[in-house]
């Protein structure tokens, strides 16, 4: 037991303590990254659960539907609401740089005055850029006129983007910015993505696609980082074990060479020839070579670990065949 402990005394050296501390730092970093990825995975799960619960739910109606636009409630995102009122087409705004099926275009925002007097912002969908090549929008489909019943899904407002936009356009769906641009007293708690209009218009922007329930690779990444936090210590232990083995072999090899060369000296320490042509200078040089052997030469000369195999050897297989043949005979 003491011999085994002594073989690992090098672990108390400054170099190996520094390596151990570095492994601790690496493990803490891996755990931090694992927790960060797990947090992202939890956020994705929460988002998908919210979509699953709200997207196809029965629409909120009446005053509760209007209140959903004035009071921000993250738990109502994607939930349908049913509104009655009329569009304000003269206050239409286009949101720039919006992608749809990999194509950049615009989203069409039209304020909607509800029958209860509150004005909300509705996103009617996506339109492409025009063919003129100057980046302007294509023709904007007009909303239905008169009293309309609209079903829309709630979305939280976006943050303000400090970027100038041409007249009639905005850089983001920041409801406070839209209120400033339009001069209307619009609800700033949420806006709606239009899902249905009654009566239906003759033409409409491209509707919104159903969101994907994508959980992403974050959970897998979290488990990988947690595994790395353990593997750094496994690598440390393996390196320590390998060094202990190499040190033991080095000592055995040096002792073997020393015992072999000691035969050239008598009990009084005088050199004596064995008739093999070795001189005392040759003996001393070989001893010094063992002591000063570079690390890469020691790695070459150390015995390789023999892999255990359970395969049947050729001789054993041949004996088995002969025995079987003898039994049949």
pTM (global) more than 0.85 = no
What is the model's pLDDT at position 192? 96
Report the distance separating Cα 11 and Cα 244, nearest Å. Answer: 10
Q: What angle do CA 91, 142, 111 make, to 5 degrees?
A: 30
What is the model's pLDDT at position 118? 93
Specify whether the CB–CB gap between 200 and 144 falls below 8 A: yes
What is the model's pLDDT at position 188? 92
**Tokens coding 278:** 């070795």
What is the model's pLDDT at position 20? 95
| Mean pLDDT calculated for residue range 217-243 | 94
Report the distance separating Cα 278 and Cα 160, nearest Å. Answer: 89
Element housing 324 (H / E): helix 314-328
Q: Which residues pair with 94 in a beta bridge?
A: 108, 169
Q: What is the mean pLDDT of the chain?
A: 85
* Model pLDDT for residues 105-128, shown as the tens digit of each residue: 999 999 999 998 999 999 999 998
> Is residue 199 predicted with pLDDT exceeding 90?
yes
Tell the residue number behind the tokens 């020393």, with chain if given: 258
Strands 103-114, 80-87: pairing kind = antiparallel
Q: Determine the 3-state secondary structure of 146 from DSSP.
A: coil
What is the model's pLDDT at position 91? 93
Of 27-31, 63-67, 265-269, 308-312, minimum mean pLDDT range: 308-312
Element housing 223 (H / E): helix 218-262
* Model pLDDT for residues 51-101, shown as the tens digit of each residue: 999 999 999 999 999 999 998 888 999 999 999 999 999 999 999 989 888
> Is residue 295 predicted with pLDDT exceeding 80?
no
What is the model's pLDDT at position 296? 47
Specify whether the CB–CB gap between 35 and 222 falls below 8 A: yes
What is the model's pLDDT at position 112? 96
**Tokens coding 21:** 């501390």
What is the model's pLDDT at position 165? 79
Neighbouring C-beta atoms of residue 318, cutoff 10 Å: 11
* Model pLDDT for residues 124-156, shown as the tens digit of each residue: 999 988 765 555 677 889 999 999 999 999 999
More confident residue, 313 or 177: 177
Percent composition of the chain: helix, strand, coil (DSSP 3-state, to 5): 45, 20, 35
Report the distance separating Cα 125 and Cα 209, nearest Å. Answer: 10
* Model pLDDT for residues 10-23, shown as the tens digit of each residue: 899 999 999 999 99
Query: What contacts 95, CB < 8 A, 6 or more positions away?
Result: 106, 107, 108, 109, 123, 169, 170, 171, 172, 173
* Model pLDDT for residues 236-291, shown as the tens digit of each residue: 999 999 999 888 888 887 787 777 777 777 777 787 777 777 787 877 777 667 66
| Mean pLDDT calculated for residue range 289-295 | 62
């Amino acid at each position: 037991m003491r011999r085994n402990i002594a073989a690992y005394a090098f672990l108390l050296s400054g170099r190996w303590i520094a390596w151990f501390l570095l492994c601790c730092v690496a493990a803490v970093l891996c755990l931090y990254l694992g927790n960060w990825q797990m947090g992202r995975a939890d956020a994705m799960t929460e988002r998908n659960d919210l979509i699953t619960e709200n997207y196809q739910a029965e629409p909120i109606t009446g005053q509760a539907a209007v209140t959903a636009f004035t009071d921000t409630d993250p738990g109502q995102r994607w939930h349908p609401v049913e509104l009655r009122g009329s569009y304000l087409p003269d206050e239409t705004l286009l949101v720039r740089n919006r992608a749809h099926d990999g194509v950049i275009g615009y989203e069409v925002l039209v304020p909607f005055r509800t029958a209860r007097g509150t004005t909300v912002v509705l996103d009617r969908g996506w339109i492409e850029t025009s063919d003129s090549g100057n980046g302007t929008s294509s023709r904007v489909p007009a909303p239905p006129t008169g009293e309309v019943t609209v079903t829309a899904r709630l979305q939280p407002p976006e943050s303000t983007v400090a970027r100038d936009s041409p007249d009639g356009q905005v850089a983001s769906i920041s409801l406070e910015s839209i209120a400033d641009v339009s001069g209307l007293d619009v609800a700033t708690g949420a806006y709606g993505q239009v899902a249905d209009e009654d009566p239906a218009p003759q033409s409409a922007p491209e509707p919104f696609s159903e969101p994907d329930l994508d959980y992403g690779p974050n959970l897998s990444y979290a488990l990988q980082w947690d595994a790395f936090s353990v593997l750094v210590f496994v690598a440390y232990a393996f390196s320590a074990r390998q060094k202990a083995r190499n040190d033991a072999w080095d000592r055995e090899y040096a002792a073997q060479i020393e015992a072999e060369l000691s035969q050239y000296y008598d009990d009084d320490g005088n050199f004596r020839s064995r008739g093999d042509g070795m001189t005392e200078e040759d003996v001393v040089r070989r001893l010094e070579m063992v002591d000063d052997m570079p690390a890469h030469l020691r790695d070459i000369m150390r015995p390789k670990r023999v892999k255990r195999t359970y395969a049947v050897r050729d001789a054993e297989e041949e004996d088995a065949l002969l025995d079987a043949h003898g039994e049949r005979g």
